[in-house]
Amino acid sequence: MSLRRQGTTLFSAMLAFVGAAVVLQLWLLTVSMEALLSGAFKTLIPAAAGSSLLLLINAGLLRYVFRFDRDAHGERE
């Protein structure tokens, strides 16, 4: 399998994962807004922490994309 083809498959899987994480973050934001408006403040910090964790995972995957690109360019040159 060529490096490009490998990258395409890998990026599809990562895209699906990142998309799912963003949907989960949207749900967490909805829960937080409802909790904020109803005054149940205890929910907010765990929700924000969960959202930040998902952001870190997404940022890690994005970093991997950049590194993959750099390596691919290096191999081509």
Q: How far apart are CA 21 and CA 42, in angstroms?
A: 23
Residue 59, both tokens: 């940022």
The nearer residue to other proteins, 59 or 71, going by C-beta atoms, is 59
Closest approach, Cβ 1 to other proteins, in A, equals 13
Q: How far apart are CA 22 and CA 64, in angstroms?
A: 18
Interaction between residue 26 and other proteins (CB under 8 A):
yes
3-state SS, residue 54: helix
Task: Give the count of alpha carbons within 13 A of 22, CB side only.
Answer: 8
Among 41, 73, 76, 77, binds other proteins (CB under 8 A): 41
Please report, as ranges, the residues that interact with other proteins according to CB under 8 A: 4, 7-8, 11-12, 14-15, 18-19, 21-22, 25-26, 28-29, 32-33, 35-36, 38-41, 44-45, 47-48, 51-52, 54-55, 58-59, 61-62, 65, 69
